[in-house]
Amino acid sequence: MQFTELPTPCYVVDKTLMEKNLKTLKGVADLTGARILLAQKAFSMYVLYPLIGRFLGGATASGLYEARLCAEEMVQPAAAAGIKLENHIFSPAYQETDFAKILQYCDHIVFNSWKQVEKFGPRAKAAGKSIGLRINPECSTQEGHAIYDPCAPGSRLGVTKDNFSRIFETGSGGRLLSMLDGLHFHTLCEQDSDDLERTLSAVEEKFGQYLPHMKWINFGGGHHITRADYCLPRLERCVRRMQQHYGLTVYLEPGEAVALNAGFLITTVLETLHNGIDIAVLDTSAACHMPDVLEMPYRPPLQNSGQPGEKAYTYRLGGPTCLAGDVIGDYSFDQPLSEGDRLVFEDMAIYSMVKNNTFNGMPLPAIALREKDGECRIIKQFGYADFRERLS
Ligand SMILES: *Cc1c(COP(=O)(O)O)cnc(C)c1O
């Protein structure tokens, strides 16, 4: 099937573009010896896990379900081909009822507090797992996106320096510290390696004394490694600094960077109207199919369009839901839009499929793959049952 023949709305992930990202990431891993994992919460289109597993060292999960998906769709198929991939997990708090399964699926388990280490750590160590503690270097490097800043005051994510050292006032400090194999931090969001470098300095200043006791350090995600202007040499220096000063294995777990600019959301214009401005109603919804447009918020790139007023015809593009704010943005075009026109939003592989919902009874977009020869294949289509099943 051709791209232009796909039904709408439809997410399309392009294999050539995915491989381009994966090659860049593998290049960093090959050059430095860092291990790079897919953060599944950004992208879990598991039909591509065998491809991803050929380039990356494995994946990381935010909970039991993602851990199982990695085990079944990435680690096991790779193992059958003789390749050992890693399955990591981090959660702010693990559930007792999940933990036995987590031990079954995961190799690395990262905890968010000393209390969690105390509660689950001995079982994880007895099962031969590598365990880590997430630290909070209290070094905010991002402006604007407060909800994406785990270093903001009052954050529940990661152990601050004070909370880290407080454990040594109790009798258990030495025992708990000796259980740890690594430290983990995740503080970046769509950032370059200058912010990583600053963060690493904060990590060394606040936690440097503990690093010689560790086997690994995990730099988390938020590294925009596959963006054209990302500074790779500085990332490589950051990795080497941890390897050379402390003898640590370095992990990176990008989500965005793995599938950045590798997917599309195709939509059709259902109706045009005018209320002071020209408006087009699409068969896709910001609220349901690209929620980060409203949450982040951001303006997704749209093919053959310009900023408002840049081209002759400007439209406000909105979804077919009841939500007044279900607006994707204002875009301009060379020709007026009309019913049946197809529009192609770009950079729609990440934080899209994993976050969508059926608010208003909206259908879920189909999921398709564009092969290297341009041929498109529908991987999955959804219907009424997918809406109904989740509601009672
Ligand atoms: C979100 C997250 C990631 C991935 O972040 P990206 O911004 O998608 O690269 C990695 N690790 C942890 C702990 C996260 O919460």
Task: Please report, for the domain that includes residue 223, its CATH number.
Answer: 3.20.20.10
Q: Is 189 in the pocket of ligand 1 (CB under 6 A)?
A: yes
Of 220, 212, 217, nearest in space to 195 by CA: 220
**Looking at 227, 244, 259, which one is the last position of a domain?**
259
How does residue 79 score in pLDDT terms, banded at 50, 70 and 90? very high
Test site for ligand 1: of 60, 108, 157, most ligand atoms within 8 A of the Cβ: 60
Per-residue pLDDT, 49:
98
Element (H, E) at 326: none
- Does 126 reside within a domain? yes
How does residue 295 score in pLDDT terms, banded at 50, 70 and 90? very high
Is residue 96 within 8 A of residue 74, CB to CB? The reply is no
Question: Based on the domain organization, do 61 and 202 belong to the same domain?
Answer: yes
Cα of 196 to ligand 1 centre, how many Å? 14
Q: Whose CA is nearest to atom 8 of ligand 1?
A: 255
The encoded tokens of residue 378 equal: 């529908």
- Does 26 reside within a domain? no
- Residue 33 pLDDT more than 90? yes
Cα of 151 to ligand 1 centre, how many Å? 14
Question: Based on the domain organization, do 43 and 170 belong to the same domain?
Answer: yes
**Looking at 259, 294, 326, which one is the last position of a domain?**
259
Q: What is the average pLDDT across 47-76?
A: 98
The CATH number of the domain holding residue 344 is: 2.40.37.10
- Residue 144 pLDDT more than 80? no
How does residue 149 score in pLDDT terms, banded at 50, 70 and 90? very high
Q: Which residue is associated with the tokens 């597993």?
A: 53
Cα of 186 to ligand 1 centre, how many Å? 7
Per-residue pLDDT of 340-363, as tens digits, reads 999 999 999 999 999 999 999 999
Around Cβ 264, how many Cβ atoms within 10 Å?
Answer: 26
Q: Is 182 in the pocket of ligand 1 (CB under 6 A)?
A: no
Report angle CA 329, 294, 157 to the nearest 5 degrees.
150
Spatial CB neighbours of 318, under 8 Å, sequence gap ≥ 6:
279, 280, 281, 282, 286, 326, 327, 328
Q: Is 255 in the pocket of ligand 1 (CB under 6 A)?
A: yes
Q: Is 186 in the pocket of ligand 1 (CB under 6 A)?
A: yes
Q: Whose CA is nearest to atom 5 of ligand 1?
A: 221
The encoded tokens of residue 384 equal: 């009424």
Percent above pLDDT 70 for the chain? 100
- Residue 185 pLDDT more than 80? yes
Is residue 337 within 8 A of residue 355, CB to CB? The reply is no
Q: Is 221 in the pocket of ligand 1 (CB under 6 A)?
A: yes
- Residue 145 pLDDT more than 80? no
Q: What is the average pLDDT across 326-337?
A: 98
Question: Based on the domain organization, do 250 and 270 belong to the same domain?
Answer: no
Report angle CA 94, 95, 96 to the nearest 5 degrees.
120
How does residue 147 score in pLDDT terms, banded at 50, 70 and 90? confident
- Does 304 reside within a domain? yes
Question: Based on the domain organization, do 235 and 304 belong to the same domain?
Answer: no
Question: Based on the domain organization, do 158 and 243 belong to the same domain?
Answer: yes
Q: What is the average pLDDT across 59-64?
A: 98
Is residue 286 within 8 A of residue 28, CB to CB? The reply is no
d(CA 242, CA 306): 44
Q: Which residue is associated with the tokens 């919460």?
A: 41
Of 124, 207, 113, 195, nearest in space to 161 by CA: 207
Q: What is the average pLDDT across 227-245?
A: 98
Q: Which domain holds residue 279?
A: 3-10+263-348+356-388
Question: Based on the domain organization, do 280 and 252 belong to the same domain?
Answer: no
- Does 22 reside within a domain? no
Per-residue pLDDT, 142:
87
- Does 292 reside within a domain? yes
Per-residue pLDDT, 143:
79
Per-residue pLDDT of 164-183, as tens digits, reads 999 999 999 999 999 999 99
Is residue 214 within 8 A of residue 181, CB to CB? The reply is yes
Which atom of ligand 1 is closest in space to residue 255's alpha carbon?
A: 8
Which atom of ligand 1 is closest in space to residue 134's alpha carbon?
A: 13
Question: Based on the domain organization, do 184 and 319 belong to the same domain?
Answer: no
Question: Based on the domain organization, do 331 and 381 belong to the same domain?
Answer: yes
Per-residue pLDDT, 373:
97
Looking at every residue in the chain, the average pLDDT score rounds to 97
How does residue 91 score in pLDDT terms, banded at 50, 70 and 90? very high
Element (H, E) at 335: none
How many independent structural domains does the chain possess?
Answer: 2
- Does 215 reside within a domain? yes
- Does 16 reside within a domain? no
Question: Based on the domain organization, do 252 and 280 belong to the same domain?
Answer: no
Cα of 202 to ligand 1 centre, how many Å? 19
**Looking at 259, 282, 315, which one is the last position of a domain?**
259
- Does 21 reside within a domain? no
The encoded tokens of residue 137 equal: 């270097």
- Residue 204 pLDDT more than 90? yes
Question: Based on the domain organization, do 220 and 276 belong to the same domain?
Answer: no
Cα of 337 to ligand 1 centre, how many Å? 38
Is residue 366 within 8 A of residue 284, CB to CB? The reply is no
Q: Is 137 in the pocket of ligand 1 (CB under 6 A)?
A: no
Per-residue pLDDT, 146:
79
Question: Based on the domain organization, do 326 and 255 belong to the same domain?
Answer: no
Question: Based on the domain organization, do 69 and 195 belong to the same domain?
Answer: yes
Cα of 220 to ligand 1 centre, how many Å? 6
